[in-house]
């Protein structure tokens, strides 16, 4: 029997350990690694279904120059030649790399070394800029180094956990499960601070639906409360913390409860409840993520949180810390090697001593001496003609950066574009002059660091397909071909890891917490067998010493920015974020039929009163417009939205939908310290878009098609794909997209209904349902017919003999349980809690990601029962 390989999940910054057992050339059984400290064997829905994503659909399997296949030698020579010539002609700052938190630490290290030590520029930035660079800047300002002063174990030792700007139940589900387990075991209190009422709020002790962008006021108000109530720690402050002049005067003026509640637009009583709870609970962890970081005042928001923890001495102690949690699997590893344009390497900045030290270590011929262009500025510089050659690695900026329309123009305009990726066609690689096939998850070999500083191995368990190669290999080959053969003479990831570890320890007398000295001489075998370990020890700063020149942490004076009232043209505020079962631009999760069922279309969520005012109904189509662009979305009316605010998901691209392009909408405005874009509050408008007909198309096979209609979204289903469609004019033009076969059809002129199927030898090839005025049937039964023998003309009835009632929207993807089934079971069996629903239906008993959704359904059902009884 094939042995299980211990590796790490491909997705979020929780960094769960996985036990992967290959079952064929491209198939694998996935289980949680019980020995991994992050997850102890648990996995969320995304991790659980990783096995559905390791197929080769859409993979880039050979180097391509333009549309032509090329040898590796030819492609690498061309990339090296173009970068060398561009640097010679226009200088080192005329080239750039845009990389990704999906890379291994070893990949990141080689790319950073090539750009900053040999090309001589710092124009290497990463998509982690979009995710957590405000936390990096905040840590550096407060602690003198980018150190996360907490671990997941602190969640089990805290008496109060405050989640700020974090839909943890969806974005970091295993952390959320650890929080829920701590609540059950020791009664830990939970406060959620978020403008939206997300599933994370289910069962929380308090939810504060603050006005977006008011977190500085909220935290300064909290500090003022703690100061007034004598909850600050004067001894800790005196010995271990510096405050800038005027800091306390600023906190004590204008941050009373009433003023703060008004600024944050929440009830003073609610705010007081939170402040009292915080003040009374020394063991408090404040966990924050994109809701804090993705703001044009993100760094101040981070520091306002850290200020409270420093002033109350709630840091470096069990169950007490500010805790930044990252989005990507290796955002932290990238930070450690210096993969941001604003850092140098190994947690060093561009101070002359550091530049000289790193230059000596690398024997670098052309050290960069100052920070480079951060992501948004980098693409702006391309549009201005200042960047002549760009290499994009493992990311899709045409979709993910704000004002993505301008980013596309930049990708089209740059004279030489290289994209290394696992996918053949992405919205970014469409414009590439050279495409290089990279290794994917399951093929990669290296290390990643999760949000609590735990370094884990990602180990390969699948053969590299076609001519794919690891990113570190591709970059070092270009470095060697640019003329630096010895500096990039790596044979394996372990060679790079040892060099990175040596650099962290090089002339490090304790000035930097990041010190991997013990790893510097690790053998190849020991690297292969590496167990997860946390750098910086269990609890950094437990001795009250910080990596600043005087050893003291720093309070940072932060002021609440003025929040502009909505303009007439843009009466709404757009917030953006993730879905539970999708990841980034869906290039991997989009391959999983199970994950696709949780949210099948990109939705714009809107408050019922706003929808009513705008004449928009649930399931309508609506256009979201901002000054940057517009895109179509399916409407979901949600009580969880604040009035005047809408929410759209970040995942959809041109590859899966005609609309849902959230990246087109946000402003390219960034935080002045971190350069992180403010994705969370863009002035916007919404309008209903009427269509003459709606329908769906189910096609056998995985070859995507572009449909000529106003709205089309595609998801993978077992055996094929489901397209939701809507449009104007004659829908007969869609008939041509049905595969060949015996054709059966049923038309109803009074409802404008077309139902057509094509069948070959009892196998369904495709089915098209369109209606102008009527209802559409559930898709589930029809989808199952793709894998059924003996299909006939009765397929147009859309249900078979003894068919089950419509399950409703999928809630539990592991057991394929829908909303209608859960509601029916709650009513009929009088179920009162999540465990009872699990016992009755199985829902929520595998990965557990849907338990907050089940809690939400239970709460709504109980409310409806109460109303009915009144």
- Residues near ligand SF4 (CB under 6 A) are 9, 11-12, 14-16, 39, 43-44, 46-47, 172-174
Q: In terms of CB distance, is 40 or 371 closer to ligand SF4? A: 40
Residue 17 beta carbon to ligand SF4: minimum distance, rounded to whole angstroms: 9
Q: In terms of CB distance, is 118 or 583 closer to ligand SF4? A: 583
Q: Quick one: tokens of 786?
A: 């793709």
Residue 526 beta carbon to ligand SF4: minimum distance, rounded to whole angstroms: 25
Residue 168 beta carbon to ligand SF4: minimum distance, rounded to whole angstroms: 10
Residue 450 beta carbon to ligand SF4: minimum distance, rounded to whole angstroms: 8
Residue 50 beta carbon to ligand SF4: minimum distance, rounded to whole angstroms: 8
Strands across the sheet containing 454-458: 446-449, 454-458, 533-534
Per-position DSSP letters for 549-562, written without gaps between them:
TTS-EE-----PPP
Q: In terms of CB distance, is 457 or 607 closer to ligand SF4? A: 457
Residue 12 beta carbon to ligand SF4: minimum distance, rounded to whole angstroms: 3
Q: In terms of CB distance, is 9 or 95 closer to ligand SF4? A: 9
Q: In terms of CB distance, is 42 or 481 closer to ligand SF4? A: 42
Q: Can you give the three-state secondary structure of 5-19, one letter per residue?
A: EEEECCCCCCCCEEE
Are the CB atoms for 261 and 208 separated by under 8 Å? no
Spatial CB neighbours of 512, under 8 Å, sequence gap ≥ 6: 145, 346, 347, 348, 504, 547
Residue 39 beta carbon to ligand SF4: minimum distance, rounded to whole angstroms: 6
Are the CB atoms for 428 and 85 separated by under 8 Å? no
User: H-helix or E-strand containing 391?
Assistant: strand 389-393
User: H-helix or E-strand containing 829?
Assistant: helix 819-829
Q: In terms of CB distance, is 12 or 191 closer to ligand SF4? A: 12
Residue 34 beta carbon to ligand SF4: minimum distance, rounded to whole angstroms: 14
Residue 837 beta carbon to ligand SF4: minimum distance, rounded to whole angstroms: 22
Question: Residue with the closest Cβ to ligand SF4?
Answer: 47
Q: Quick one: tokens of 244?
A: 């800038």
Q: In terms of CB distance, is 7 or 685 closer to ligand SF4? A: 7
Residue 8 beta carbon to ligand SF4: minimum distance, rounded to whole angstroms: 8
CA dihedral 626, 628, 629, 632 (to 10 degrees): -50
Spatial CB neighbours of 294, under 8 Å, sequence gap ≥ 6: 130, 131, 134, 676, 677, 678, 679, 680
Residue 749 beta carbon to ligand SF4: minimum distance, rounded to whole angstroms: 49
Residue 325 beta carbon to ligand SF4: minimum distance, rounded to whole angstroms: 10
Tally of helices (H runs) and strands (E runs) in the chain: 28, 34
Spatial CB neighbours of 341, under 8 Å, sequence gap ≥ 6: 122, 123, 124, 125, 129, 371, 372, 373, 374, 378, 675
Specify the 3-state DSSP secondary structure of 55: coil
- Cα separation, 518 vs 526, whole angstroms: 12
What distances in angstroms separate CA 435 from CA 59, 170, 421, 585, one per listed residue?
Answer: 12, 33, 8, 18
Are the CB atoms for 479 and 76 separated by under 8 Å? no
Neighbour-count burial for 205-230, b at 16+ CB within 10 Å, e otherwise: ebbbbbbbbbbbbbbbbbbbbbbbee
Q: Quick one: tokens of 384?
A: 């201005």
Residue 130 beta carbon to ligand SF4: minimum distance, rounded to whole angstroms: 18
- Cα separation, 652 vs 712, whole angstroms: 12
The HSE-up count of residue 534 (CA atoms within 13 Å, CB side) is 20
Q: In terms of CB distance, is 16 or 226 closer to ligand SF4? A: 16
Residue 858 beta carbon to ligand SF4: minimum distance, rounded to whole angstroms: 23
Residue 30 beta carbon to ligand SF4: minimum distance, rounded to whole angstroms: 9
Q: In terms of CB distance, is 47 or 291 closer to ligand SF4? A: 47
Q: In terms of CB distance, is 175 or 285 closer to ligand SF4? A: 175
Among 739, 859, 851, CA closest to 177 = 851
Residue 440 beta carbon to ligand SF4: minimum distance, rounded to whole angstroms: 15
- Cα separation, 47 vs 421, whole angstroms: 21
Are the CB atoms for 572 and 685 separated by under 8 Å? yes
Q: In terms of CB distance, is 35 or 463 closer to ligand SF4? A: 35
Q: In terms of CB distance, is 14 or 60 closer to ligand SF4? A: 14
Are the CB atoms for 138 and 309 separated by under 8 Å? no
Per-position DSSP letters for 200-219, written without gaps between them:
GGTT-SEEE-PPTT-HHHHH
Q: In terms of CB distance, is 12 or 684 closer to ligand SF4? A: 12
Residue 329 beta carbon to ligand SF4: minimum distance, rounded to whole angstroms: 7
Q: In terms of CB distance, is 44 or 226 closer to ligand SF4? A: 44
- Cα separation, 345 vs 21, whole angstroms: 36
Q: In terms of CB distance, is 44 or 813 closer to ligand SF4? A: 44
Total residue length of the chain: 870
Backbone dihedral region of 844: left (phi > 0), alpha (psi from -120 to 50 degrees) or beta?
left
Query: At 683, phi and psi to the nearest 5?
Result: -60, 135
Q: In terms of CB distance, is 183 or 492 closer to ligand SF4? A: 183
Q: In terms of CB distance, is 173 or 668 closer to ligand SF4? A: 173
How far, rounded to the nearest angstrom, does the alpha carbon of residue 482 sit from its chain's CA centroid? 34
Residue 14 beta carbon to ligand SF4: minimum distance, rounded to whole angstroms: 4
With 0-12 / 13-18 / 19 or more C-beta atoms within 10 angstroms meaning exposed / middle / buried, residue 384 is exposed
Q: In terms of CB distance, is 9 or 204 closer to ligand SF4? A: 9
CA dihedral 355, 360, 364, 368 (to 10 degrees): 0
Q: Which residues on neighbouring strands pair with residue 768, listed in sequence order?
A: 697, 756
What distances in angstroms separate CA 571 from CA 156, 373, 624, 666, 686, one per listed residue?
Answer: 43, 33, 11, 15, 9
């Amino acid at each position: 029997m094939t042995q299980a390989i211990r590796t790490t999940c491909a997705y979020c910054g929780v960094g769960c350990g996985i036990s992967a057992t290959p079952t064929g050339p491209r198939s694998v059984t996935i289980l949680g690694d019980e020995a991994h400290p992050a997850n102890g064997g648990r996995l969320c829905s995304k991790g659980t279904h990783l096995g559905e994503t390791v197929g080769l659909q859409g993979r880039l399997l050979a180097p391509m120059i333009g549309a032509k296949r090329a040898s590796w030698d030819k492609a690498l020579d061309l990339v090296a030649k173009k970068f060398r010539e561009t640097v010679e002609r226009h200088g080192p700052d005329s080239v750039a790399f845009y990389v990704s938190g999906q890379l291994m630490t070893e990949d990141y290290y080689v790319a950073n070394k090539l750009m900053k030590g040999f090309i001589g520029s710092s124009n290497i930035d990463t998509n982690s800029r979009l995710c957590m660079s405000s936390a990096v800047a905040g840590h550096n300002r407060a602690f003198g180094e980018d150190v996360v002063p907490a671990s997941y174990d602190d969640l089990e030792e805290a008496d109060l956990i405050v989640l700020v700007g974090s839909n943890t139940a969806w974005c970091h589900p295993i952390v959320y499960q650890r929080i829920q387990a701590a609540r059950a075991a020791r009664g830990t209190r939970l406060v959620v601070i978020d403008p939206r009422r997300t599933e994370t709020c289910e069962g929380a002790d308090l939810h504060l639906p603050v006005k977006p962008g008011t977190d500085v006021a909220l935290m300064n108000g909290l500090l003022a409360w703690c100061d007034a109530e004598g909850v600050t720690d004067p001894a800790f402050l005196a010995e271990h913390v510096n405050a800038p002049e005027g800091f306390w005067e600023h906190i004590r003026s204008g941050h009373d409860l009433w003023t703060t509640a008004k600024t944050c637009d929440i009830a003073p009583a609610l705010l007081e409840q939170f402040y009292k709870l915080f003040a009374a609970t020394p063991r408090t962890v404040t966990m924050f993520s994109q809701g804090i970081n993705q703001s044009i005042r993100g760094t101040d928001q981070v520091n306002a949180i850290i200020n409270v923890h420093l002033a109350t001495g709630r840091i470096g102690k069990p169950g007490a810390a500010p805790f930044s949690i990252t989005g990507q699997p290796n955002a932290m590893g990238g930070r450690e090697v210096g993969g941001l344009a604003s850092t140098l390497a190994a947690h060093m900045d561009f101070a002359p001593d550091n530049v000289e030290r790193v230059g000596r270590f690398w024997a670098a011929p052309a050290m960069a001496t100052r920070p480079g262009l951060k992501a948004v500025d980098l693409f702006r510089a391309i549009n201005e003609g200042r960047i002549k050659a760009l290499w994009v690695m493992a990311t899709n900026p045409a979709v993910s950066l704000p004002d993505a329309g301008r980013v596309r123009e930049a990708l089209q305009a740059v004279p030489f574009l290289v994209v290394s990726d696992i996918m053949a066609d992405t919205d970014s690689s469409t414009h590439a002059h050279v495409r290089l096939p990279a290794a994917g998850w399951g093929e990669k070999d290296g290390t990643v660091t999760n949000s609590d500083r735990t370094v884990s191995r990602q180990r390969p368990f699948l053969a590299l397909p076609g001519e794919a190669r690891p990113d570190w290999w591709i970059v070092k080959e270009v470095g060697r071909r640019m003329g630096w053969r010895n500096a990039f003479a790596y044979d394996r990831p372990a060679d790079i890891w040892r060099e990175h570890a040596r650099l962290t320890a090089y002339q490090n007398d304790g000035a930097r917490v990041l010190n991997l000295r013990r790893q510097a001489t690790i053998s190849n075998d020991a690297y292969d067998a590496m167990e997860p370990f946390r750098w910086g020890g269990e609890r950094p700063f437990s001795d009250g010493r910080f990596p600043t020149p005087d050893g003291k942490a720093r309070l940072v004076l932060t002021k609440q920015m003025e929040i502009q009232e909505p303009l007439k043209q843009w009466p709404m505020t757009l917030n953006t974020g993730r879905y539970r079962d999708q990841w980034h631009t869906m290039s991997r999760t989009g391959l999983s039929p199970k994950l696709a069922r949780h949210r099948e279309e990109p939705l714009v969520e809107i408050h019922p009163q706003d929808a009513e005012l705008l004449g928009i109904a649930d399931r309508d189509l609506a256009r979201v417009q901002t000054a940057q662009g517009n895109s179509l979305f399916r409407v979901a009316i949600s009580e969880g939205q604040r009035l005047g605010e809408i929410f759209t998901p970040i995942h959809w691209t041109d590859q899966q939908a005609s609309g849902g392009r959230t990246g087109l909408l946000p402003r390219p405005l960034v935080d002045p310290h971190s350069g992180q874009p403010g994705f969370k509050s863009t002035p916007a408008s919404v309008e209903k878009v009427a269509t003459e007909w709606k329908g769906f198309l189910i096609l056998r096979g995985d070859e995507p098609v572009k449909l000529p209609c106003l709205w089309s979204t595609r998801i993978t289903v077992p055996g094929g794909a489901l397209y939701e469609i809507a449009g104007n004019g004659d829908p007969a033009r869609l008939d041509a997209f049905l595969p060949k076969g015996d054709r059966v059809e049923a038309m109803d002129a009074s409802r404008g209904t077309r139902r057509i199927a094509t069948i070959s030898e009892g196998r369904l090839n495709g089915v098209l349902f369109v209606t102008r005025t009527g209802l559409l049937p559930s898709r589930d039964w029809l989808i199952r017919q793709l894998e059924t023998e003996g299909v006939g003309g009765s397929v147009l009835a859309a249900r078979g003999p003894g068919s089950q009632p419509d399950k409703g929207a999928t809630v539990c993807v592991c057991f394929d349980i829908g909303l209608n089934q859960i509601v029916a079971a709650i009513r009929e069996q009088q179920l009162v809690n999540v465990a009872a629903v699990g016992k009755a239906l199985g829902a929520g008993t595998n990965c557990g990601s849907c338990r907050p959704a089940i809690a939400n359904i239970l709460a709504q059902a109980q409310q409806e029962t109460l109303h009915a009884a009144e």
